[in-house]
Amino acid sequence: MAPSEALLAVRDLRVEFRTAAGLTRAVNGVNFTLDRGETLAILGESGSGKSVSAQAIMGIVDSPPGRIAGGSVRLQGEDLLQLDAEAMRQVRGHRIAMIFQDAQAALDPAFTVGQQISETLRSGGALSPQEATARAIDLLERVKIPEARRRVHDYPHQFSGGMAQRVMIALALALEPEVLIADEPTTALDVTVQAQVMQLLSELQAESGMGLILITHDLGVVAEVADRVAVMYAGKVVETGPIAALYARPGHPYTVGLMDSMPRVDRQEGRLLAIRGSPPNLMRIPAGCAFHPRCALAQDRCSQETPALLPLPDEPGRHSACHFVAEIPGRRRSEVSAEVAGLGASGEEPLLRVEGLVKHFPLRSRSLLRRSPGAVRAVDGVDFELYRGETLGLVGESGCGKSTVARTLLRLERATAGRAWFAGEDLFALRGEALRKMRQHIQMVFQDPYSSLNPRMTAGAIVSEPWEVHEGLAPREEWRARARDLLRRVGLDPDDERRYPHEFSGGQRQRIGIARALAFNPQLIICDEPVSALDVSIQAQIVNLLQDLQQEFGIAVIFIAHDLSVVRHISDRVAVMYMGRIVETGTRDQIYNQPTHPYTQALLSAVPVPDPESEARQRRIILEGEVPGALDPPSGCRFRTRCWKAEPRCAQEVPALIERFGHGHPSACHFAEARATVPVEG
Amino acid sequence: MTTDAVTRLDSASEAPRKVGIGLIMRRLLRDPVAVFSLIVLTLLLIALLAAGQVAPYDPLRQNLRLRNLPPGTPSVEEGGFPHILGTDELGRDLLSRLIHGARVSLAVGLGSALLSGTAGTALGILAGYYGGRLDDLIMRLVDLQMSFPFLLLALLVLYALGPGFLNVILVLALVRWMVYARVARGLTLAMRSSPFIDAARVTGNSDLRIIRRHLLPNLASPLVILFTLEIAALILGEAALSYLGFGVQKPEPSWGLMIEAGKSYVSTAWWLTTFPGLAIFLTALSLNLLAASLRAISDPVQRERWLNAGLRERP
């Protein structure tokens, strides 16, 4: 083996799927190499072929309908695609291992994790059961699972998402593979846990010197850990290069678009710059450059001639597949700092006031005689105000109660305690007809655009349903014209009114959901993670749309999100929740520039920043552990179990949410101090 | 207007196709399995509506000289229609009895399927949608009845009510409602927590409207399939009851009764049991086969795929 040879070299890889509807070309000539000790990130949106490429390397493409149509995958010179099934089995796990997005599902629920790791170990060589168990404990310790000796006997369901992913990593590393493929390893995890897992992966890689292929759609994650990036679009690599140079001077219009679409926690911009349109259907990939229908630089040549992946002049190690590389602007668009809309005019009545909101879900005991065994404290005393035309970002990790706040305000759940006034009316006291009337003023946009539309109704029927349900809002003759107008306003074709939800893409469906909410002309729209199920380039379109509509109609918005970067672009004020309580609120600038609560600081610094040279990484706070169960929350300050500032006082005394730093910036920490965790530009 | 700045989405798919009854029929007629079941069911429908006009003989007219004639025997009358399926032990024309019997069997099957389907679906949706004590009550009743043999219950009730056409429909509905209740409850439970039902509530729909407009249409395809399968099961149920003497009474022809009457002649006149049995089998088979096509037609997501798969030119 020549020393210059790459560890793994993929040449012109092609994978197709034959389905009833036609031939899907999922991977269309992919080229990349991976060296020892290197981390290569494969970046792309859903349907770009990044996961299928990984499956092809592992030899686990479902066949039929899948078929490897050409190319080669050389591991130290040996073409894996030529191996027979038995030889390939010897490669999988032993020389190339893989971890998946949903670790919980990838583990066998019927065996303890120790048994699963031991089994893998023993398949690699003769080991006694005792030796295998001892090695399994070693491995679990290596991936930093606390109390590994005890936990080796636990079953997968006893591990949290982050811990299960660590077990998966231990399992993958058991036979010391030369290459590890991580397919969206942190997508299903909360942002603070995601930071832990990524750090672990890069430590392990540095230790073992294996090659790591990281498949992700998250530009932030890539910037954090990768050495090199391959950007994929429609089954092809459109750009590769070392991370720093590629991020500083993207060499393909698609990469430029992706970077601009990405909401950033360290920047404050009025609007996100979206890529128009949506990724192509792989059954009908556009001729020439597949990106040309969405490209601002596209010319006639782009639709006729497929650009090859060529080295960039003057830039060592970089390749781009664009005819007009030279014309790609060196810098991204100029950063325009947004005007921060003021708080509601002083003295004005808030549109919505929430006081002491509590929602407990009692656990149902199966026995009639025993008392209820307790309650999940989803929301445990939340107060906030919202003014007309204002946007409040409500941020917290999964399970913090942010969605439950939304559901109680929408009267989808009954509040356990607390009160809320909407435009002076007691929201929780409304019954019957009065409640139905109120619904015209408070609307919702849902997280999942796939299941929030009735599959049996056309887009037109969905949008005009509000008028059908509430008599007197609009005369029946006008429904159709108004529905068409609404569809046009949210960026859809009015003729789409006859289509059913399944005929739309995710982003388009979310537009229908927004049109439905707008049909009432509401005063308040609650958006529950409206973009978290969408691709990055589509996310930006939807965030911009919401922002435009809000400004046009003067609607107040509660924007719920699990990380702070999306919220930055749209919020006037931000409230951060942890375990059912708000720990800090303030204007956007206060929260992002001077976060005072340790949790806010950690949350801000955990968000991956898509800039490899960002100094934020050096000052990163990585929280330990995960969110405790809401069944039995810690006494005193609930964050104390993960907080680096915790002192005995924190366990005894609940910190009140009071103003500790200036006007309108209350924080619930005994030791609150302002600290900038993320450098702020613009 | 600011929203005009929103980039227009490219429409990758073609303009929506108008899916009318014509297109669906064209697709159905290309499917030999569907054509077969449609033919069988059309013949049955004719028998149901115009038994008197299509049957060559009076199904009750006896002629002991013509007992147990084998299939294909020419008529004794001048220019009479041959007894293509033979005659029974009392000399009655078997084809005519089969046609008239179809009327009884189908009426019982359809009638009791409709009755049990309506009641079972309604109770199942109530149980699934409202939950709590109502759910417990309805579902315990279902469990109770599920664990009780179906024929035994039917016989007990028929014994109390007395046999007869309408009572058979009632009894069969009574013993089969819980099949729908179970399916409807399960589907409702799964759908109740889905975001589009939340969305309907946020829009201000009343419970009744949510059930009618949002739940029912989404339950329709599985329930319609269940309905067609149940018709087949109920025709068999009617045959069983009549066979045991608790169903339709002699001399009224029903497929079950005809098998019962023919069983003493199995060795000498095989056609007495074979043809009614074949009729039951073909009816049940066609209904089951048609159920698969119905599922595809009634669901907008599957409909498209189904239409595309069928209407594409064969290579």
Q: How far is A91 from chain B (nearest CA, A)?
A: 39
Chain B contact present for A276, CB below 8 A: yes
The confidence score (pLDDT) of residue B3 equals: 36
A454–B200 CB contact, under 8 Å: yes
Chain B contact present for A364, CB below 8 A: no
Distance, CA of A219 to CA of A317 (rounded, Å)? 20
User: Which three-class secondary structure string do you get for B274-311?
Assistant: HHHHHHHHHHHHHHHHHHHHHHHHHCHHHHHHHHHHHH
What's the pTM value of the predicted model, to 2 decimals?
0.76
Q: How far is B247 from chain A (nearest CA, A)?
A: 41
Q: How far is B210 from chain A (nearest CA, A)?
A: 10
Q: Are B179 and B212 in contact (CB under 8 A)?
A: no
* Mean of per-residue pLDDT scores for chain A: 84
- Average pLDDT of the segment spanning A3-14: 83
A451–B308 CB contact, under 8 Å: no
Residue A496 CB neighbour total at 10 angstroms: 22
B198–A452 CB contact, under 8 Å: yes
Best of B1, B4, B7 to substitute, by most chain A Cβ atoms within 10 angstroms, is B7
Residue in A closest to B199 by C-alpha: A452
Gyration radius from chain A CA atoms: 26
- Average pLDDT of the segment spanning A652-677: 81
**pLDDT digit string, tens, across residues A170-179:** 999 888 899 9
pLDDT-derived band at B8 (thresholds 50, 70, 90) equals very low
Q: Are A612 and A43 in contact (CB under 8 A)?
A: no
Best of B192, B202, B207, B212 to substitute, by most chain A Cβ atoms within 10 angstroms, is B202
Distance, CA of B170 to CA of B177 (rounded, Å)? 11
Name the residue among A533, A615, A627 with its Cα closest to residue A578.
A627
Chain B contact present for A499, CB below 8 A: yes
Q: How far is A365 from chain B (nearest CA, A)?
A: 13
B12–A284 CB contact, under 8 Å: yes
User: Which three-class secondary structure string do you get for A391-405?
Assistant: EEEEECCCCCCHHHH
Chain B contact present for A577, CB below 8 A: no
B214–A448 CB contact, under 8 Å: no
The confidence score (pLDDT) of residue A483 equals: 93
Give Dmax (Cα) for chain B. 93
Distance, CA of B308 to CA of A234 (rounded, Å)? 25
- With contacts defined as CB-CB under 8 Å, which chain A residues touch B10? 276-278, 293-294
Distance, CA of B120 to CA of A442 (rounded, Å)? 37
B2–A448 CB contact, under 8 Å: no
Distance, CA of A428 to CA of A395 (rounded, Å)? 24
> What percentage of chain B has pLDDT greater than the value 70?
92
B308–A21 CB contact, under 8 Å: yes
- Closest CB to B9: pick one of A444, A491, A498: A491
B6–A551 CB contact, under 8 Å: no
A541–B7 CB contact, under 8 Å: yes
Q: Are B256 and B241 in contact (CB under 8 A)?
A: yes
**pLDDT digit string, tens, across residues B266-286:** 888 888 889 988 988 898 888
- Average pLDDT of the segment spanning A416-435: 90
Q: Does position A294 have pLDDT exceeding 70, yes or no? A: yes
Chain B contact present for A491, CB below 8 A: yes
- In A5-44, the residues whose Cβ lies within 8 Å of chain B are 20-21
- Closest CB to A446: pick one of B199, B206, B214: B199
Q: What does the angle CA A158 – CA A131 – CA A208 come to, to the nearest 5 degrees?
A: 80
Q: What does the angle CA A356 – CA A361 – CA A364 come to, to the nearest 5 degrees?
A: 155
**pLDDT digit string, tens, across residues A73-111:** 999 988 999 988 888 888 888 899 999 888 888 888 888
A447–B195 CB contact, under 8 Å: yes
- With contacts defined as CB-CB under 8 Å, which chain A residues touch B223? none
Q: Give every CB contact of residue A420 below 8 A, 6+ residues apart in sequence.
A: A352, A353, A354, A355, A357, A408, A409, A426, A427, A428
For chain B, report the end-to-end CA distance as a whole number of angstroms: 51
What's phi and psi for A380, nearest 5 deg? -135, 60
Residue in A closest to B16 by C-alpha: A499
What's phi and psi for A420, nearest 5 deg? -145, 135
B196–A451 CB contact, under 8 Å: yes
Considering only residues A662 and B239, tell me which one the structure prediction assigns the higher pLDDT: B239
Using DSSP's 3-state secondary structure scheme, residue A193 falls into helix
Q: How far is B149 from chain A (nearest CA, A)?
A: 29
Considering only residues A45 and A72, tell me which one the structure prediction assigns the higher pLDDT: A72
- With contacts defined as CB-CB under 8 Å, which chain B residues touch A442? 202
**pLDDT digit string, tens, across residues B31-83:** 888 899 899 989 988 888 888 888 888 888 888 888 888 888 887 777 778 88
- With contacts defined as CB-CB under 8 Å, which chain B residues touch A552? 1-3
- Closest CB to B11: pick one of A274, A447, A493: A493
- With contacts defined as CB-CB under 8 Å, which chain A residues touch B308? 20-21
**pLDDT digit string, tens, across residues B132-189:** 889 999 999 999 988 888 788 888 888 888 877 888 899 889 888 999 999 999 999 9
